[in-house]
Each structure stands twice: as C-alpha cells, then as structure tokens.
Chains A and B, each alone.
Chain A
Amino acid sequence: METALTILLDGLVFSSYLFIVSLGLTIIFGVMKILNVTHGSFYAWGAYTAAFLIGLAANAGWPDWAGFAIIFFAAILVGLVLGLILERGILQFMYHRDEVLIVLATFGSFLVLEDTILLVFGVDPYFAFQPMQLLGSVELGGIARDTYGLTLIGLAAVLAVTSWLVLRRTHWGKLLSAVIFDRELAMAMGLNVSRVYIVTFVIGAMLGALGGAYIAPTVSVAPGFGVDVIVLSFAVVVIGGMGSVPGAMIGALAVGIVRALAVHKFPQFELFVIYAVMATVLVFRPEGLFAPVKARKI
C-alpha cells in the first residue's frame, strides 16, 4: 500500500514536470505546425540563467525566497530573447518550406545554442539549491519528501488551468483557434498571422525556459542538460496528440506514472517503457490520443 502511494506521488511529481516542459512544445506545434527541437535549448537556457542568477543573489545576501521571483524572471527573459531571435532570425523565412526541413533548421539552432551555453556559462556545473532548502521537507505516507518537488504539481495545475482559460475563454484564444484551423483563411480575414506566430513562439519559449528554471534548484545544471528533455517531451506530446493541451496532460500523466512504476518495480526498464508507450500509441493512433480535429482540405 505504501509503495503504491509512493509510486503514485513520484509519478505525479514527474508527470507535473513533464507537463510543464511539454506544454510550450505542444502549443507551438498546434499553432505553427513546427516540431521545435530548440525546445531543449529553451529548457537548458532557462535552467542555466536561473541557477546563475540565484547563485548571484545568494552571494549578494538576498533572502532565499527571492529565488522564486528569479525563476520566473529568468524564464521570461530567456523566452523573450531566444524566442524572438529564433522566430525573427530563422523561422520566419522557413514557413513556406517542408515541415521536415523546419525540424532540421530547429535541430541546427539547437546545436548552436547548446555550445553557446558552454561559451557563456562554462563547463562547470551550477547549483542553486536555496529555494529548495527554504521549503524543507514534509512527511507523506511515511516517507519524507521535499516540498519543492510537490510544488511542481501546483505549478502544473496552475499552468493547465491558465492555458485552458486563455485558449477557450479569451479573444486571443479565439484568434489562435482560427489560425490553427486554417492559416490562409485566417490571413484572408485580416488576421495578422505573423504577429500571432511571434507571440505564440515567445510564449512557448517562455514555458520551455520555465520548465528548466523551475527544475534547476533540484539538480546540478551541467552541459548536455537539454538533450534528454527533447525526446522526453516529444514522447509526451506525441502520446497526447501534437498540438493539444489536454493531450499533453494525459501524455504527461501516462509517461510519469508508467515511469514511476518501472523505477520502483523494474528499474532496468525505466527508459524502455517511456518509448515503448510512445511507439505503441503512434502505431495505433498516429495522430496521438487527443489530436485536434483537422480541417479537411482538398
């Protein structure tokens, strides 16, 4: 019984983490039809920036809770700067090209950004444990857990509700739906599609960076930080249906719980199960479990 609770909690925490890192990816795909490999760079840059600034703040004698403000600040900063550079500098010239070529262009950008991290931050790992230390730990089901990890669940819930409200209940969300449904028609109706693209990409980038920034206090931020997260978030998004927010949630829950189960019961299958689930879903439902309905075009 206790193991079941542990697995469930572990799974929930990991699912929340997965949801946060894949939300931006799925939004960008839904609106722009871009499978964005640079998502891993946003994640790594967010983590590095947050860890670096938290370290600075701690040295300057700022209180530990300032770390939380810094995390969000870092995410917004990284998303704004990198998102704008990539969208304006590279992607805006690619929209009329093959989808696969756009993936390759983002892959190229990812490689460039990966080494830029080394040039800017060096090869030594960063530690930013202050926010995690501040929250301490709680006992749940007989096992002490760090509270910071549990706050991930809260953050994921807030993000899920917010994105749902924005997409379904606001003017902006309606504009997005129009662009998602048919880009050319939206353009013909006088919608400024290129502005929608910029805003979407920057928001997606911010979400990716937030994932990295928020996870930074719990790990050592070292080179190669964004590599694994790319395939992991791809798996989540593919399982749920690319471009669907509820899909990302289901995908994150499926991968999170299955992985937690594997870690506790069959540790050697930890990585295997994630991609086995992804492959299985792709084989039976190539568009994913919750893919948005596509407009039929002739």
Chain B
Amino acid sequence: MNLVRDRTVQGLTLALGVMLIVSALVPSWIVNQLLFAFSRAIVVLGLLVLWRTRLVSFGHALYFGLGAYTVAMTSRYTGVNDAFALLGAAALLSTVVGFFVGFIIRRYRDIFFAMLNLAFSMILYGILVKTEALGSTDGFTIEQPTFAGIAFEDPSEGKLALLCLLMVVGWAVAVGVQAYLRSTLGRLTTAIGDNEIRVEYLGYSAEHAIHIKYVLSTFLAGLGGGFMALALGQVDPDSMVNWTASGELVFVTILSGPGSVAAPFIGSFVFEILRTYAFEWMPHAWQMIVGGTLLIVIFFMPGGLWGLVSGVAQRLTRRRPAAAAPGAGG
C-alpha cells in the first residue's frame, strides 16, 4: 500500500507504556471512563475491520452481549470468578457462534449484511428479555473478579488491575489486527470493498476472506463485551443487546474513522467523555449530540477523528522543510 515505514506498533507500545503510568496516577472516575472506553474500543476494532470492506453490522451487540452475558452467567452459576477464565470463556463462545453464523452471513453485502446481523442480534434480545433465568429486562450484577487467584480487597484497586489487564489485551489485539491488515488476507479487506469481482479474478475467495474477517470481529466483540461486563459490574439486555447498542457501536466506529488500529481507542475515549458531560449538562440532549455528530462526520469528516488528527499532523510535518515522510500509519 504505502512504502512509508509503518510505525503503528511502536506508537501503540509507547502509548501502552504511557497509559500504564498515567492510569496509576489518575482519580478513580477516570479509571472507570478508561475501562468503558477501551472495552468498547476492542469491539470497535472488530467493526473497523469490517468497515474497511464497506460492511456495516447493525447487530454486533449480539456478540458484545454474548460476551457480557457469558461473563455474568459463568460467574453466577459456576462459581468461577477469575477474570482470565471469564474473559476467555466470553471470547471463545462469541467466536464459536460467530464462526457458525458466519457461514450464513458471508454471502451477504450492503444493507442485507446489516439487516441479517440485526435479525440475529434481535433473536438473542428476544430470548434474554423474556427469560427469567437469564435475568429478563433487569439483567444481573456481577461480583468483582479475581486475577489469576489474586483478590483485591479495595474495589478501586480491583478496577485498576482490570484496567491494566484491559490495556495490555487492547495493545495485543491492536497489534494483532495491524499484522492481519498488513498480511495478504488483510489487504484484501480494502480490495473487496472496492471491487469484489476483481478480487475473485485474482484468485481469492471473497466469501472466505469475509468469513475470516467476520469471525475476527466476533472474537473482538465478545472479548470487549466481557471486559465491559466486568467494568460495569452488571449486564442488562437494553443497553447491551438491543439494536440501539449495535447502533452505538457503529457510531463509535464511524466517529473513530477507519484510518488506523489506534483510532478506535481515541474514538471510544472521546465518546465516553462526551457522554459523561452530556449527561451532566444536557440530560435530554444526549441522543441529539450523538445523532448530530454522526451526521457531521458523514458529511464533513469521512476519515473520522483519526482522519482529522492525521490530516493536521500531515499539514504540520509538511511545513517543516526537512520532513519527508508523513506519520500516518497504514
């Protein structure tokens, strides 16, 4: 794609180091914000992979919710309460479901892709809302987890430990997705979005590539959902599985922009901050802000926040006479 050296991984590693130090110093409400933001960012990372192929899923709350509910149900009914086991179960279950659903989904494009995902997610929603044993409309609360057997007495320490784990996992999946996007399979991502028939003529199966992409996105959605459940300490169908939750995820994807694997983390954080202040200052205008922002991004900022940031960065580097390579990653 570009011959500029890709510094994304170095950038991510640097960011991880800085964030690990910063998170130990900031007050606990910011720790919470970061927990919500980065949990969602992992899900959005998966949607970004799909969005690069011009596929939008209006149903990834299915996997998000599946991950969250796996964590809640496992800790409630089996007594297993370790964060590693719970998150592993969440990611595993949603990946398995995504793998099987993927055989059907991969044949669809455009709005049919969005709608079929929506239908599947609403099936789960329909089951959750009407089943007493699954918490019905109220959902469950989740106890504070242990970390590889270590239990934290102080809840805020537990949150901090969860955040550290989340950031390391977030770094790992971002690096993994970056490696995927730079592989041949990942480069097909954009190619399929541009012209599927040409990809088929090159000898690649578009359906196969989309299936892999889809499973990857479901894995990330389940993992992010699991983290979100632990971060919130509760699960409920309306904010996690209903179609509006899927819409929220799509919104953050569009807001972040498809430019880089780092974009979802920035976009999700902006989203959390926006939400906190909107609820404080204008409690009845939250959806209006989200909707208005979505329209502005669609009309004026096709690259999302990342496009905005990298555009400014590019302009700055161009002004310097010696600068040769723009810093925007692949």
Q: Which 8 A-B pairs have the closest CB atoms?
A: A111-B291, A271-B126, A108-B294, A115-B288, A112-B291, A272-B126, A275-B122, A279-B119
Shortest C-beta distance, A241 to chain B (Å), equals: 12
Shortest C-beta distance, B48 to chain A (Å), equals: 14
- Are A282 and B112 in contact, with the CB atoms below 8 A? yes
CB of B110 closer than 8 Å to a CB of A: yes
Contacts of A270 in B (CB 8 A): 126, 130
Pick the residue among B108, B131, B287, B294 that contacts A115 (CB under 8 A): B287
CB of B120 closer than 8 Å to a CB of A: yes
- Are B122 and A271 in contact, with the CB atoms below 8 A? yes
Alpha-carbon distance between A265 and B116 when the two chains are bound, in angstroms? 27
CB of B118 closer than 8 Å to a CB of A: yes
Alpha-carbon distance between A112 and B251 when the two chains are bound, in angstroms? 13
- Are B56 and A275 in contact, with the CB atoms below 8 A? no
Alpha-carbon distance between A112 and B120 when the two chains are bound, in angstroms? 26
CB of A116 closer than 8 Å to a CB of B: yes
CB of A268 closer than 8 Å to a CB of B: yes
Mostly helix, strand, loop or mixed at chain B's interface?
Answer: helix
Contacts of A115 in B (CB 8 A): 284-288, 291
- Are B295 and A109 in contact, with the CB atoms below 8 A? yes
Contacts of A279 in B (CB 8 A): 116, 119-120, 123
- Are B54 and A100 in contact, with the CB atoms below 8 A? yes
Most buried by B among A99, A107, A227: A107
Taking Cβ atoms with an 8 Å cutoff, the residues of B that contact A are 54-56, 58, 104, 107-108, 110-112, 114-116, 118-120, 122-123, 125-127, 129-131, 243-244, 247, 250-251, 254, 284-288, 290-295, 298-299
CB of A278 closer than 8 Å to a CB of B: yes
CB of A261 closer than 8 Å to a CB of B: no
Number of cross-chain contacts by CB at 8 Å? 122
Shortest C-beta distance, A180 to chain B (Å), equals: 17
Contacts of A113 in B (CB 8 A): 291
CB of A10 closer than 8 Å to a CB of B: no
Pick the residue among B54, B110, B115, B247 that contacts A238 (CB under 8 A): B115
Alpha-carbon distance between A166 and B54 when the two chains are bound, in angstroms? 37
Alpha-carbon distance between A113 and B125 when the two chains are bound, in angstroms? 25
Can you give 13 A-B contacts (C-beta < 8 A)? A99-B111, A103-B111, A104-B250, A105-B294, A108-B290, A108-B292, A108-B295, A114-B287, A115-B286, A231-B118, A268-B130, A271-B129, A272-B123
Contacts of A235 in B (CB 8 A): 119, 122
Alpha-carbon distance between A164 and B285 when the two chains are bound, in angstroms? 41
Shortest C-beta distance, B203 to chain A (Å), equals: 23
Shortest C-beta distance, A286 to chain B (Å), equals: 5
**A111-B288 CB under 8 A given contacts A231-B118, A270-B126:** yes
Taking Cβ atoms with an 8 Å cutoff, the residues of A that contact B are 35, 90, 93, 98-101, 103-105, 107-116, 118-119, 123, 227, 230-231, 234-235, 238, 267-276, 278-279, 282-283, 286
- Are A116 and B288 in contact, with the CB atoms below 8 A? yes
- Are B115 and A100 in contact, with the CB atoms below 8 A? no
Alpha-carbon distance between A98 and B285 when the two chains are bound, in angstroms? 28
Alpha-carbon distance between A283 and B244 when the two chains are bound, in angstroms? 23
Chain B residue nearest to A89 (CB atoms) is B295
- Are A282 and B286 in contact, with the CB atoms below 8 A? no
Shortest C-beta distance, B142 to chain A (Å), equals: 24
Shortest C-beta distance, B240 to chain A (Å), equals: 15
Chain B residue nearest to A113 (CB atoms) is B291
Contacts of A234 in B (CB 8 A): 115, 118
Pick the residue among B254, B284, B290 that contacts A123 (CB under 8 A): B284
Contacts of B129 in A (CB 8 A): 271
Shortest C-beta distance, B168 to chain A (Å), equals: 33
Alpha-carbon distance between A53 and B279 when the two chains are bound, in angstroms? 31
Shortest C-beta distance, A115 to chain B (Å), equals: 4
Shortest C-beta distance, A76 to chain B (Å), equals: 25
**A93-B299 CB under 8 A given contacts A112-B288, A279-B120:** yes
Contacts of A112 in B (CB 8 A): 287-288, 291-292, 295
